[in-house]
Structures are given as C-alpha cells and as structure tokens.
Structure 1
Amino acid sequence: MTDSKKASRASGKRERLASAAAQVLHAQGIAQTTLADIAQAAEVPVGNVYYYFKTKDQLVEAAIDAHAQTLRGLIAALDELPTPQDRLKALLNGWVEQRELTAQYGCPTGTLASELDKRADGLDRSIAAVMQTLLDWAERQFREMGRTDARELAVALIAAYQGVSLLTNTFRDPDLMTTEARRLERWIDSLT
C-alpha cells in the first residue's frame, strides 16, 4: 500500500472516530461515554482509538471540531441562497428537520456546551467558539437586512433556538420546535 493510501485511510478513520464521538457524546453525554462506545459507533477496533486519540478529552476536542466542520458546511450551503431572509429561514427549517433528534437528546452543540461549562479545562471555550460562529453568521444576515440592531437580533434568534431545544428535549415534544420555527419565520418577515 502506498503512503498516500495509508494516510488517506488513517485520515478517514480519524474522521469517522471524530464524527462518531460527536454523535455518541450527544446521545450519552461525556461522563457516560466510553472510548469503546465511540469505537463501536465508528466501526473501529477499540485498540485503534488510542492510536488517534490518547484520552477521552482529545475525542471531545475532535467532536467539537466535527461540530465546527458541520457548521461551516451548513453556513456554506446557506450562503448560496439569494437573500438573508431565505438563509435565516433555511436555518430554521434545518432545525425543524432535526426536531426528533432534538426531542430525544437536545441541541448537539448546546448540550455539549452545557456539559463542558462545568469543567475548567478550556474545552468550554472551544465549544463557545463554535456557537460564536453561528452567532456571527446570524448577525451578518440581519446586518444585510439593513438592521442596526443585528447583534441583538442574532442573540435573540440563537437564544430562541436554544430555549426551544431545551423545551423540546425536556417535554420530548418535537412539535414545539416546529411551532417556534414558524413563529421565528414570521418574526424574520416582520423585520424587513
């Protein structure tokens, strides 16, 4: 096997482990998740996990990076839409599409942020940076709409989502997400 094929296979395995870590941590939480759980989800022998990640915290960091990468992909896709209103509404629709998962486990980024906030190892700042990326993107959309209060509106939007995610999860009611998204769409329309 050539060195490039080995590197590609290794990179693919590392990415699978990071993606699996994000999913398993979302479903089980940090404390309940073992390296074996992540290895199983990634379909990688547990011994191989240690080749890529020496500690669970390194896997948590990789999960945060996976969240960031997913968000960057989402933002790139949303930015293809013609207007800021279209982009913001598409974001809302994406949240609605994930409502069953949110009802079961909460917001992937929000629940991880909440867990990491209780630790003093700096990973809380890493997940905050992911949340900051979304907040900054939303602010740009409102600014493009000509709003001088764009930052406040972005905070209101993300806070509404995080709040409804918590309620959707607490009550295990995906319809709450749908209802709030429709209200937020009307709110976005009212801002123009």
Structure 2
Amino acid sequence: MTRGKREQIVRGALRLYRTRAVCGSTLKDVAAASGVPLGNLYYYFQTREELLLAVLDACEAELRGLLDDLAPLPPPAWLHAYFGWLLTDPDSAAHGGCPFGTLAVELRALRDPAAPRAAQIVQHYREAVAARTRTVFPDSDPDEVFLAVQGAYTVARALDDPQLFQRRMDQLRGRLPLTPA
C-alpha cells in the first residue's frame, strides 16, 4: 500500500508539473492533484527536492518504457512509431510541450539542483532519436528530427495550436521511407 500511495503522489506531481509547471505548483497543489492529504505527501517526501527527484525518476522510467517498446523495430519503423507516440495527444503537446524537455528547461531556468538530472533524461532521449535519424537519413544532421520535434513543441505551445504540432509531425513522418505493414 505504501508503494502505491507514493507512486500516486509522483504521478499527480508529474501531471501537475507538466500542466502548471514546478514553479506554479505548491506541495499543497501536488497533494490535491494526487488525491491525498498534505500530511501523506510529507510522510513520503520530506522535501520538495525529494519529490522532484522522484518525478524525474518517473520521467526516466516513462522514456525507458517508450524506448524499450520501440527497440525491436528497424530504424524507419522506429521513427514511424515514434511519430505515432508523439501524436497520441497533440493537444497535450500544444499545452504542455515536450513531456521531458519542458521540465528540464524549467529546472534549468530556476537553477534547480535537479536540472542536470533532467538534462540527462533529455540527452538520452536525444541520442535515441539521433541514432535512428542517422540510419534513416545518413546525409543529414542526426539531430534534425529531434530538434524539429522540439521546435514544433515550443511553437505549438507558444501559439496554443495543436494543429500546428500535428501538421509538422505529419510532414516529418511523410519524409520517412515506407515500412512494411
């Protein structure tokens, strides 16, 4: 039961941080978003920093899960599936931005001690996409796809325009070689 309540708090904090940001969320907000009394939150996390590190662990686990799911696919199919994942909720992209990068940028801006940990997660994400980009588009910059996705996240969020994100992802996906069904 203890583990479940702790995970409930982490999931609630992650949702809140992705929609309202870390700096716009108090521990009381996290408790409410998690559906637990504030005292329970303090039982599991003595400080905001402990909670933030647990949230980053959850982000890393989310990314590892995605990468593990995609790992068996050849690079063109991997990129097709990756774009499918990106487009599972274009509204979220326009409102919250990249589920990993947005948090890392905020922590860096806040000069939070957890910023380097968040940057490591983004770097791992970047390397995974670059490895497939390098294989599928050997004559292009390996960061081309990753940076195009991050740029689309940023502009769609700034303009609150999910369709912009959707169109850009469709354009990138359209450049990929067809893969066998």
Aligned length: 178
Unaligned runs of 5+ in 2: none
Unaligned runs of 5+ in 1: 1-8
Is structure 2 residue 1 aligned with structure 1 residue 13?
Answer: no
The superposition leaves residues 146-185 of structure 1 with CA deviations (integer Å, 9 ceiling, x where unpaired) of 8376xx32x2211111110111111111111111112112
TM-score where L is the length of structure 1: 0.84
CA distance in 1, matches of 2:137, 2:175: 15
Map 1:37-186; keep pairs closer than 5 Å.
37-81=29-73, 83-145=74-136, 147=138, 152-153=141-142, 155-186=143-174
For the 8 Å contact 2:87–2:169, the answer to whether it is kept is: yes
Cα offset, 1:143, TM superposition = 4.8
- Which is greater in Rg? 1
Partner residue in 2 for 1:187: 175
CA RMSD between the two structures: 2.0
Cα offset, 1:73, TM superposition = 0.7
TM-score where L is the length of structure 2: 0.89
CA distance in 2, matches of 1:165, 1:145: 22
For the 8 Å contact 1:21–1:62, the answer to whether it is kept is: no
CA distance in 1, matches of 2:87, 2:44: 34
For the 8 Å contact 1:18–1:59, the answer to whether it is kept is: yes
